Amino acid sequence: MAKGERGTAKPYLRGKIWWIRYSVPGEGQERFESSKSPSKNDAIRLLNKRRKEIDDRQITSTDATIDDLLRLYLEDQRRQKRHSYQQADGYVRLHLEPAFGKIKASALTTKIIKAFIDQKQAADYANASINRWLEALRRAYALGLKELPPLVYVAPEIEDLMLDENDNVREGFLEHEQYLRLRKELPDHQKLILVIGYHLGMRRGEILKLRWDQVDWDANLIRLEKRQTKGKKARNAPLYGELRAWFEMTYSARDPNCPFIVSWKGHGITEVKTAWKKARRRAGIPGLLIHDLRRTAVRNMIRAGISEKRAMEISGHKTNSMFKRYDITDERDIQADGERLARYLEEKARLAEERPKLDAERAELEKVRTKVRTEAGEASNQIEQKKLLVQ
């Protein structure tokens, strides 16, 4: 029979082994745990350890799994009507749920997260992709902490495990000849996606959500609504030249019952990967990303002489640093800079060669001027002398 002070958290004996009893907030019954030792001091140390873990919320009253937290995350994405919901669903379904889903939420450790990171890096996933998954996991824990009652009482320090993304700068551009080839290979209903992206640098999601009532034909403007943009800020984009011609051609062939500019059989579209993959391969640019159109448009705007501020407004970049990240020089820019530098140095060399001759000419001119001034002075003196003689 157990020997100890009833109603206390002091250790007690069961046979020859010391046991402890303690309460966890939120649980109606006490927990009993063996110290697995015949020493009372070992039991006291275990009890103090459990008390500290309760204070630090490392022991909780919930049996929630990480799968429960991930469901909270997706529900929040759907409730908030996030544009990235489908992407978030992919994060959970393809990566987070298989790796963490069955683990108890309070049992997640740094070691487990690092093993997940190592596994994904070994599979050649980019650091940026792994960081997006970790951010989703961190958000899931934040939501679990806010639940009433909480699904979890402590969250791991995931932010400290985030990877460096400095090597994630995209470098692809689409030259005009490639643009024409790709446009020829795309299905008719998706050609306008390419045209808009190439000219204006809009994001794919923004393009697919565009409606005809947002086109101001008289003002030559496309008016994006706040809820359509990633930055949650309304903006206007110009409608000009070839871009307007494509809009007019698409408008004349539109389905009057479909509000979307990019549509297929009377409905807006959400998936373009398959068609674009085949078209890129046929056009000879299999590595091109749709997002590269955004970078190409930014570079074209700068080369056309559009101010950086105005280009940011058109493309929807919020910060100068992110804008400059896309304006990466390519070989042609470097070659042009080299030609400008060569012309500058050639001009300096020419001036250096001509300087002695110019200096000699200046010296000769100065001699002539001095002689003229001397002769003029002598003539003036002679005139003065004559005047004195006359007087």
Residue 302: the pLDDT is: 83
User: Is the previous residue joined to 98 through a cis bond, with omega within 30 degrees of 0?
Assistant: no
Per-residue pLDDT, averaged over 90-111, amounts to 92
Buried b (16+ CB within 10 A) or exposed e, 309-340: eebbebbbbeeeeebeebbeeeeeeeeeeeee
Query: Chain-centre distance of CA 257, in angstroms?
Result: 36
Q: How many CB atoms lie within 10 A of CB 82?
A: 13
- Distance from C-alpha of 167 to C-alpha of 171, rounded to nearest angstrom: 11
List 32's β-bridge partners, or say none: 21
Let me know: does 72 contact 151? Beta carbons within 8 Å: yes
User: Is residue 154 pLDDT above 90, yes or no?
Assistant: no
Let me know: does 198 contact 296? Beta carbons within 8 Å: yes
Pure H helices in the chain: 40-55, 66-79, 85-91, 97-100, 110-122, 127-146, 176-185, 191-200, 204-208, 241-252, 273-283, 292-303, 308-315, 320-326, 331-390
Residue 7: the pLDDT is: 45
User: Is residue 5 pLDDT above 50, yes or no?
Assistant: no
Residue 74: the pLDDT is: 95
Residue type, 84: S
- Distance from C-alpha of 117 to C-alpha of 292, rounded to nearest angstrom: 27
- Distance from C-alpha of 193 to C-alpha of 246, rounded to nearest angstrom: 11
Residue 91: the pLDDT is: 94
CA torsion through residues 80, 315, 335, 172, sign: positive
**Angle subtended by helix axes 241-252 and 191-200, to nearest 10:** 150
The pair of three-digit structure tokens given for residue 380, joined into one six-digit string: 């003036």
User: Is residue 332 pLDDT above 90, yes or no?
Assistant: no
User: Is residue 4 pLDDT above 60, yes or no?
Assistant: no
- Percent of the chain whose pLDDT exceeds 90: 44
- Distance from C-alpha of 159 to C-alpha of 156, rounded to nearest angstrom: 9
Let me know: does 205 contact 83? Beta carbons within 8 Å: yes
Residue 329: the pLDDT is: 52
Residue 150: the pLDDT is: 77
- Distance from C-alpha of 219 to C-alpha of 212, rounded to nearest angstrom: 14
List of domains in the chain: 12-55 (no CATH), 66-168 (1.10.150), 176-328 (1.10.443.10)
Round the CA-based radius of gyration of the chain to a whole number and report it. 38
Residue 193: the pLDDT is: 95
Residue 1: the pLDDT is: 35
Q: Which residue has the tokens 């800079």?
A: 337
Residue 188: the pLDDT is: 93
Let me know: does 178 contact 275? Beta carbons within 8 Å: no
Between 382 and 309, the higher pLDDT residue: 309
User: Is residue 242 pLDDT above 50, yes or no?
Assistant: yes
Residue 326: the pLDDT is: 55
| pTM attached to this predicted model | 0.56
Residue 122: the pLDDT is: 93
Let me know: does 194 contact 179? Beta carbons within 8 Å: yes
Residue type, 222: I
Lowest-pLDDT range, 100-114, 137-151, 163-177?
163-177
User: Is residue 305 pLDDT above 80, yes or no?
Assistant: yes
Strand order through the sheet with 221-224:
215-216, 221-224, 235-238
Q: What contacts 70, CB < 8 A, 6 or more positions away?
A: 92, 96, 97, 100, 101, 136, 137, 140
List 3's β-bridge partners, or say none: 13
Per-residue pLDDT, averaged over 309-333, amounts to 69
Per-residue pLDDT, averaged over 122-147, amounts to 92
Residue 58: the pLDDT is: 67
Let me know: does 75 contact 85? Beta carbons within 8 Å: no
Q: How confident is the model at residue 224 (pLDDT cuts 50, 70, 90)?
A: very high
pLDDT tens for 250-288 read 999 999 999 999 999 999 998 888 899 999 999 999 988
Average pLDDT in the chain: 85
Residue type, 240: Y
Residue 171: the pLDDT is: 60
Lowest-pLDDT range, 106-115, 139-148, 361-370?
361-370
Between 321 and 187, the higher pLDDT residue: 187
Residue 3: the pLDDT is: 45
Residue 331: the pLDDT is: 57
Lowest-pLDDT range, 102-111, 209-218, 291-300, 361-370?
361-370
Q: How many CB atoms lie within 10 A of CB 132?
A: 17
Closest CA to 294 of 223, 194, 188, 210: 194
List 33's β-bridge partners, or say none: 20
